[in-house]
Amino acid sequence: MYAGIFMLDFLQDLLQMDKREKDCFCHCAEVLQEVYGKGMSMLGTKKQRMVFAILLVFFLFATGFTVISLPDNILDVGVVRPAQGTVTYLDRTLPLGEPMLFVSGRLFLPLQPMVTALGGAVSYAEDALVIKHGSRQVSLSKEKEDALYMPLYFESDTPYIYLYDLTNLFSLAAVFDSDANKLSLYHRQAALPYEADREDVPPKPAYLRLEDITADYGIGNNYTDEGLEKLRVIADYMYERGQSFDIAWIPLYTNPSRQLQNDLTSNFDFYNAGFLYTLDYLVDHNGQIVLHGLTHQENDTVSAVGTEFGKNSPFTLDEVEERMKHAKKTARWLSFDDSIFEFPHYSFTPKQLDIAVRLFGTICMQYPYARKAGRVEHVNSLRSDTTFIPAPLGYMPNQGELPEFREKIKNAVDSELLGMFVHPYIDFANITCATVDGYRTFDYQSGAIIPSVVDEVAKNGYVFSKIK
């Protein structure tokens, strides 16, 4: 009887849990299910095994045991491989003396030879490395490097620094030539963070999503080395104007006709290092990762063309769940947020949506059961708390249709979210990157599509914001 009363109290507490507590509890159950999966297989169905796992969590809580959450990332974190290639600074090849490394796919460079080649110096304090360059001095703790995007990596006591951190510290532009395994460094004027004017009325939030970004080795002629650099220019433009954006990333580019599947967690090369450098750049300039399916394709279709989910999907519900989990694990392995999801082409079934709701805190789509379309919806249940973010204005058009789209923004009503998405490569023709006297320069035409929309949004009292 007492166990029954305790169980009722436990269920009442469970109903009153906040989102973080619910997620933690459910995660514990899922971990136990995975850990004891073989032994639990005799219980029959997946639902029976899940019930057993939940009851086991209950037992641990009831008896006072501490439930320790196992790491979400079950992949091999910290894979390190040599990176064969060359680095130039102002078009001069640098003799580094130490090999470059791919650390979990990102390009790391030997710290001391690189800083010395750039005209700086590295000294060693008791618990820190001190970098001096001109009048600037940066101290990097060996335990915690708050000044860095990624921690230093030590190979036999030799410190290595992530390329993105190096370019930040020295105000450099990185130019990739992945076909030649070459990285060129030039001076650049760093993008400055936006300083908002003090206004009596704060701007209203709008949402912009950069759609279908994927590591396709430039096959579509969009995300080439040059295209990725132009994507970073768009990020600079948004950052300098205080605008945020979402990054609809397809984690596992798949092209069956070329027998190609580009797994960023195992394919370490200069193209993928440049792609990860670009994703990190976008995230660090007000971007926010959205998992856009796993492959955004099915059968013989190509990523960003196919659909993956929906009523015509070839995948079972168990396979749908595994694909969503695979996308999440890939994001976590690469140190990206894994909490936001978007169905490719908004194609889903009610049961597929139920799976996504369990796995993600935010879904970029119109909530299908909303009383009124075009609004942000917060849906709460025992199992999950989910926010649905629609894009009522749809996708940004080509240059010829831009005036009509600006009118849509002007005529937007306050009761409807000002949400939209864009394939960023539509503006690549309006961006020029060049090297002049050792400086990398960028020109983004003010009349291009994204700047025109940002301008119109600001005129109407909105600012592109992060999903909350």
Give me the mean pLDDT over the 183-197 stretch.
Answer: 87
pLDDT, position 145: 62
Asked if 337 and 239 sit in the same domain, the reply is yes
pLDDT at 82 over 90: yes
Mean of pLDDT values over 75-87: 81
Domain hosting residue 103, numbered range: 80-170
DSSP track, 239-257 = HHTT--EEEEE-SEEEEGG
Would you say residue 194 lies in a domain? no
Q: What pLDDT, on the 0 to 100 scale, is given for residue 195?
A: 75
Kindly state whether residues 57 and 84 are assigned to the same domain: no
User: What average pLDDT does the chain have?
Assistant: 85
User: Model's pTM, two decimal places?
Assistant: 0.84
pLDDT number for residue 140: 85
Task: Choose among 297, 312, 211: nearest CA to 261.
Answer: 297
Instruction: Report if residue 127 sits inside a domain.
Output: yes
Interval 194-224: pLDDT, tens: 877 655 567 899 999 999 999 999 998 999 9
Q: What is the tens place of the pLDDT at every residue in 269-300?
A: 999 999 999 999 999 999 999 999 999 999 99
CATH at 164: 3.30.457
The whole-number pLDDT of residue 135 equals 81
More confident residue, 51 or 5: 51
Give the count of beta carbons closer than 10 Å to the beta carbon of residue 461.
Answer: 14
On whether residue 181 sits in a domain, the answer given is: no
Structure token digits, residue 437: 């006297």
How many domains does the chain contain in total?
A: 3
Per the CB < 8 A criterion, the answer to whether 14 and 28 are in contact is no
- The predicted-structure confidence for 350-404, as pLDDT tens digits, reads as follows 999 999 999 999 999 999 999 999 999 999 987 789 999 999 999 988 888 999 9
pLDDT in tens, 159-176: 999 999 999 999 999 999
Q: Where is pLDDT greater, at 36 or 189?
A: 189
Domain shared by 8 and 85, yes or no: no
Q: What percent of the chain has pLDDT over 70?
A: 81
The answer on 246 and 136 residing in a single domain is no
Single-letter amino acid code for the residue at 329: K
Report how far residue 268's alpha carbon sits from residue 71's, in angstroms, rounded to the nearest whole number.
24
Q: Specify whether 260 is located in the same domain as 134.
A: no
Residue 123 and residue 226 in one domain = no
Residue 76 pLDDT exceeds 50? no
pLDDT in tens, 113-123: 999 999 999 99
Residue 67 falls inside a structural domain:
no
**Looking at residue 150, what is its pLDDT?**
94
Given this model, what pLDDT does residue 344 score? Answer: 98
